[in-house]
Amino acid sequence: MLNGTFTLSTPEIMKLVDISSTVEKIITDASVSSGLCYLFNPHTTAGLTINEGADPAVRSDIIKGFRDIVPAGLDYSHLEGNSVAHIMASLMGNSLVVNIMNGRPQLGTWQKIFFCEFDGPRTRKIHWKIISDRD
């Protein structure tokens, strides 16, 4: 079993950041041809998802939809003022498992792996673990 952490910087308050190439490099460097890649986001105001990566409008539409689902104008009690980000992160989730076949993450034709920032800009961490079929 291999594991590690990588960091990324998010440029905006809300942004879906494509981390697919980073995950692909981790898998390649691990020389694992078959297994699982587990990704964990240890932040309470950010999430992880797999979604379409071909059209950037999808990412902005996801954020627009979340802003509609979780309105900023409610009388939230959290003192830091970022309850919206906490709620969005809870809706998105904080971990993913990606199947590895032939040394690559098994994603659909249009799919990419995204880190979902809801309280940026910030420097964030993602923990990963690769479980090889040989383990």
The DSSP 8-state label assigned to residue 119 in this structure reads S
pLDDT per position as a tens digit, 25-51:
999 999 999 999 999 999 999 999 999
| Cα distance between residue 2 and residue 129, in whole Å | 6
| Global confidence as pTM | 0.95
List of E strands, the chain:
2-9, 15-18, 34-40, 46-52, 95-101, 104-105, 111-117, 123-132
Domain residue spans in the chain?
2-132
Percent of the chain with pLDDT over 70: 99
Fold of the domain built from segment(s) 2-132: Jelly Rolls (2.60.120)
Which range is least confidently modeled, 4-8, 74-78, 99-103, 122-126? 74-78
| Helix/strand/coil percentages in the chain, nearest 5 | 25, 40, 35
Backbone phi and psi for residue 35, each to the nearest 5 degrees, phi listed first? 160, -150
pLDDT per position as a tens digit, 66-102:
999 999 988 999 988 899 999 999 999 999 999 999 9
For residue 79, give both structure tokens.
């003192």
| Cα distance between residue 82 and residue 3, in whole Å | 31
From residue 9, give the alpha-carbon distance in Å to each of 70, 80, 95, 119, 135.
24, 21, 18, 12, 33
